[in-house]
Amino acid sequence: HPAPASIPSDEARHLPSTAAFQPIVRLNNVHKSFGSNHVLKGVSFEVTKGEMIAIIGASGSGKSTALRCINHLEVIDDGAIEVCGMQVGDPAIDIRRLRRDVGIVFQSYNLFPHLSVEENITLALRHVKQLGKQEARTIASEVLAKVGLSEKGQAYPEQLSGGQQQRVAIARSLAMSPKVMLFDEVTSALDPQLTGEVLRVMEDLAAGGMTMLLVTHEMAFAKRVADRIIFMHQGKVWEIGDGTMLDHPQTQELRAFLDNGL
């Protein structure tokens, strides 16, 4: 007999033993082209709850496209993407819920220049989550504390360094209580001395159990902090492993990438 539909989910039954191994994100044989440019050629991987995965690879290998497909900023041509139990691309899913569950932070911080730091953070809380002013402000101060910017709520973006602005962007994303965070080269536009403070915030998030998928050129950081590293090459997952794979590349392509950089 098929199981009755009324059996509650593992989550509802508080069964962390299985929930802990549930993939939050699962890509299965994903293909994506832009015109005749076949950018993702059958990409498959999973991100398990609490895992931090770093994606590395040369410019143009499809890293950003893969991230953007996960929260439906790009529409895939073939294969499947599942996020928190939702089939991305299924017209029946609630795209707002998908975007709420998946936080994404880009290289450019995209803060509103005419709004204070606090207003940047509370905007979506007020208008998307429909929270009251006080509740939104409380959450803003919590997430600002997490990124080490408790004092900056009333500042305007132009008064902040690039590293501080990027930390505000991370806080703004965190405020929505995402189940997974995507980071696309969030330190690439920063001076080296500002990169560290942003990496530290991401390391804290990982230590706090946040599920994270990040594209980065910071190899030492990826090696130290990531649970797994994915090397993408020409639209495919070429190698996947823990930090030691950077010391022992299995393929000529990863070796060349590590030797020659971007």
Give yes or no for a contact between 88 and 69, defined as CB atoms under 8 angstroms apart.
Answer: yes
Task: Sort 58 into a burial class: Cβ within 10 Å, 0-12 / 13-18 / 19+.
Answer: middle
Name 115's Cβ contacts closer than 8 Å, sequence gap at least 6: 123, 156
3-state secondary structure (DSSP) of residue 78: strand
Nearer to Mg ion, 64 or 71 (CB): 64
Nearer to Mg ion, 58 or 115 (CB): 58
Q: How many CB atoms lie within 10 A of CB 44?
A: 14
Residue 65 interacting partner from Mg ion, ligand ADP, none (CB closer than 5 to 8 Å by kind): ligand ADP
Minimum distance from residue 20 beta carbon to ligand ADP (Å): 30
Binding to Mg ion by residue 164, rule CB under 5 A? no
Minimum distance from residue 34 beta carbon to ligand ADP (Å): 3
| Strand-strand pairing, 211-215 and 180-184 | parallel
Residue 4 interacting partner from ligand ADP, Mg ion, none (CB closer than 5 to 8 Å by kind): none
Minimum distance from residue 180 beta carbon to ligand ADP (Å): 18
Residue with tokens 């803060």: 111
- Positions touching ligand ADP (CB under 6 A) are 34, 37, 39, 57, 59-65
Report how far residue 117's alpha carbon sits from residue 198's, in angstroms, rounded to the nearest whole number.
Answer: 17
CA distances (Å), origin 121, targets 78, 125, 159: 36, 7, 16
- 25, 40, 49, 64: which one binds Mg ion (CB under 5 A): 64
Nearer to ligand ADP, 60 or 241 (CB): 60
3-state secondary structure (DSSP) of residue 77: coil
Residue 7 interacting partner from ligand ADP, Mg ion, none (CB closer than 5 to 8 Å by kind): none
Nearer to ligand ADP, 32 or 152 (CB): 32
Nearer to Mg ion, 64 or 122 (CB): 64
Residue 39 interacting partner from Mg ion, ligand ADP, none (CB closer than 5 to 8 Å by kind): ligand ADP
Nearer to ligand ADP, 53 or 174 (CB): 53
Report how far residue 84's alpha carbon sits from residue 96's, in angstroms, rounded to the nearest whole number.
Answer: 13
> What is the DSSP code (8-state) at residue 244?
G
- Residues at the contact surface with Mg ion, assessed by CB under 5 A: 64
